[in-house]
Amino acid sequence: GERAKRLGEAVEVIKLLFSQQKSTFNGKYYQLKDALCEPKPVQKPHPPLLIGGVGPKLIQPLAARHADIWHFFPGSGGDGAVKKMCEDFDALCRKVGRDPAQVEKSLSLRDQQLAGTAEEIRGRVKALANVGVRHFILSLSPPYDRALMKRFATEVMPELRKG
């Protein structure tokens, strides 16, 4: 809980520093007085903020309020579990007064999801995209399978972009 609370304050501080000429913040963990952050980022009002985690009490509400991208880890349950998590997160966004479409969803593709033919992998990724996931991070175990990464880049992704 303590780390999540620190993260909450840190997100507020970062957004202030990226968007204000001088930033003042008086929190429990961080204090700023007329702090400068120069040069400002090119993206306005700030670079996309990705917040990852599934903690329902602190992390998900924080992501619902501040994230541009929410990265989550669905456990077991397949596409049904992912769909439920996306629906629950969208409801949380609405509860905090935010349009769920403002927060893109991201998850990690693990070794088992990347097994099989390119067509099978595309099918799994398409199923996840159909329930709202827009960003995918390959999360492989060492030793890293370079052939798998190359196959994903050359045989899976180009076909997904077409559809």
- Whether omega before 39 lies within 30 degrees of 0, making that bond cis, reads yes
Q: Strand, helix or coil at 96?
A: coil
Strands (E), 36-96: 50-52, 69-72
Residue with tokens 């620190």: 6
- Predicted local confidence at residue 163, as pLDDT: 58
pLDDT for the residue numbered 80 = 84
- Listed as ranges, residues in the chain with pLDDT below 50 are none
Q: How many CB atoms lie within 10 A of CB 105?
A: 23
Check residue 158 and give its pLDDT.
84
pLDDT for residue 77 = 66
pTM over 0.85? The answer is yes
Beta-bridge mates of residue 23? 35
d(CA 132, CA 149): 23
Burial of 129 (0-12, 13-18, 19+ CB in 10 A): middle
